[in-house]
């Protein structure tokens, strides 16, 4: 089933590899629930101390036709200092996957 994926990049250059990763992660989530009807992702790089903080955050909001949206926000403080953006995106989608699975049970 096709689910529209809206992506917003804030202070992060648009990269094909990153867009491909987002689409791949979404394709793995859509089979978990047949009522998913939209997905919005915000990928952001914050101006933080690079020696102390990971600068990336990812917010994912998935909408359903029959229940409330689920939102996952992977904040910079949730990430290891050396996690790259691809790892942060993957971690956020893993959290979303877990929330969807537990919401179905």
Average pLDDT, integer, range 56-75: 93
pTM of the model: 0.89
Q: DSSP H helical segments within 1-105, as ranges? A: 16-29, 85-104
Task: Note the pLDDT of residue 82.
Answer: 81
Stretch among 23-27, 49-53, 55-59, 91-95 having the lowest mean pLDDT: 49-53
Cβ contact 33:64 at 8 Å: yes
Give the integer Cα–Cα distance in Å for 46 and 53: 10
CATH superfamily of 5-104: Ribosome hibernation promotion factor-like (3.30.160.100)
Task: Note the pLDDT of residue 55.
Answer: 86
- List, in sequence order, every residue forming a beta bridge with 59; answer none if it has no partner: 42, 73
Average pLDDT, integer, range 39-65: 86
Where do the structural domains in the chain lie, given as residue ranges? 5-104
Task: Note the pLDDT of residue 83.
Answer: 86
Alpha carbon 104 to chain centroid, angstroms: 19
């Amino acid at each position: 089933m096709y689910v529209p994926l809206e992506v917003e990049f804030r202070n992060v250059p648009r990269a094909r590899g990153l867009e491909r990763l987002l689409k791949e992660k979404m394709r793995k989530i859509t089979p978990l629930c047949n009522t998913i009807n939209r997905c919005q992702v915000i990928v952001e790089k914050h101006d933080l101390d690079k020696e102390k903080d990971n600068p990336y955050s990812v917010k994912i909001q998935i909408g359903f036709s029959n229940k409330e949206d689920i939102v996952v926000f992977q904040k910079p403080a949730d990430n290891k200092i050396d996690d790259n953006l691809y790892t942060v995106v993957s971690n956020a989608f893993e959290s979303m996957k877990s929330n969807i699975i537990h919401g179905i049970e």
